[in-house]
Amino acid sequence: MTVAVEVNRVTKKIKGMDVLHDITFSVDKGKIVGLVGPNGSGKTMLFRIIAGLVKPTSGQVSLFGETLHQTISFPRSVGIILEKPGFLEEYSGFNNLKFLADIQKKIGVEQIKEAMTQVGLDPEDKRKVSAYSLGMKQKLAIAQAIMEEPELILLDEPMNGLDETSVKVVYELISNQQSRGATILLTSHNKEDIETLCDEVYKIRSGKIERQ
Ligand SMILES: Nc1ncnc2c1ncn2[C@@H]1O[C@H](COP(=O)(O)OP(=O)(O)OP(=O)(O)O)[C@@H](O)[C@H]1O
């Protein structure tokens, strides 16, 4: 079994406080792992660290055997949504994704359109993102996280703002990503999301982790 994510004794201190304290856990390739815990417990910070966006104060994160900030500076293949998706408000949803896809140049127009269609957005919709509803922005964020078919997908509250039908669509989409071999970490305050989707669940409380 390949280990996709290995978090080894990670501590993050901010202004003298342990936001994360001695976190150790690992995720096998192809699993969906849920992180639950109260507001402010450190879930988003852990995602930022796993994505290579924030350096831990101590400890290491390895992704598919490569250690962040040592062997690699950034994860090779990661899709991420964090709590507040940042898009260019004056551009259409499609143009936002095109702009991001052009950075890596891994995918073309067809794959962008496919990702948008999968989440239930119309790639031909010319409206600016500023005219999108909260749920539409969330769908765009999910499309962006999956469009390049990354090996690792980090979804922080992916169902935020989604109606019941859209939640079911996203459940299926996440399962499909697992079926193609992706490893997925997700946070949710909704029990049903966790129970439906996750193979394993960890709880973060006051910066400490425990297996559920
Ligand atoms: N840049 C920062 N400066 C100071 N404190 C921070 C910073 N970023 C996060 N924190 C603190 O770290 C703690 C963990 O925050 P985090 O956003 O990871 O929580 P969370 O588990 O994702 O919460 P939620 O369920 O509300 O999304 C909080 O106490 C927060 O105030």
Give the model confidence (pLDDT) of 97-109 as tens digits.
Answer: 999 999 889 999 9
Question: How many CA atoms, within 13 angstroms, populate the side-chain half-sphere of residue 148?
Answer: 22
pLDDT of residue 104: 85
C-alpha to C-alpha distance for 186 and 198, rounded to whole angstroms? 8
Q: Which one, of 85, 76, 8, 73, lies nearest residue 44 by Cα?
A: 85
Contact 119, 173 (CB under 8 A): yes
Q: Whose CA is nearest to atom 9 of ligand 1?
A: 45
Sign of CA pseudo-dihedral 20, 87, 152, 164: positive
Q: Per-residue DSSP letters for 88-146?
A: -TTSBHHHHHHHHHHHHT---HHHHHHHHHHTT--TT---BGGGS-HHHHHHHHHHHHH
Does residue 83 surpass a pLDDT of 80?
no
**Strand, coil or helix: what is 27?**
strand
Give the model confidence (pLDDT) of 107-118 as tens digits.
Answer: 999 999 999 999
Q: Whose CA is nearest to atom 4 of ligand 1?
A: 14
pLDDT of residue 64: 96
CA 33 – ligand 1 centroid, Å: 20
pLDDT of residue 76: 86
Does residue 122 surpass a pLDDT of 80?
yes
The tokens describing 7, both together, are: 């978090």
> Ligand 1 pocket: which residues have CB below 6 Å?
14, 19, 37, 39-45, 83
pLDDT of residue 86: 80
Residues paired with 80 in a beta bridge:
154
Contact 129, 140 (CB under 8 A): yes
Q: Which residue has the tokens 């699993």?
A: 31
pTM, whole model, 2 decimals?
A: 0.93
How far CA 197 is from CA of 21, 47, 205, in Å, comes to 27, 18, 21
Pairing of strands 32-36, 200-205: parallel
How far CA 206 is from CA of 39, 42, 203, in Å, comes to 10, 7, 10
Rounded percentage of the chain residues whose pLDDT exceeds 90: 90
Report ipTM for this prediction. Answer: 0.94
Give the model confidence (pLDDT) of 152-211 as tens digits.
Answer: 999 999 998 899 999 999 999 999 999 999 999 999 999 999 999 999 999 999 999 999
Ligand 1 atom at minimal distance to the Cα of residue 45:
18
Q: Whose CA is nearest to atom 2 of ligand 1?
A: 14
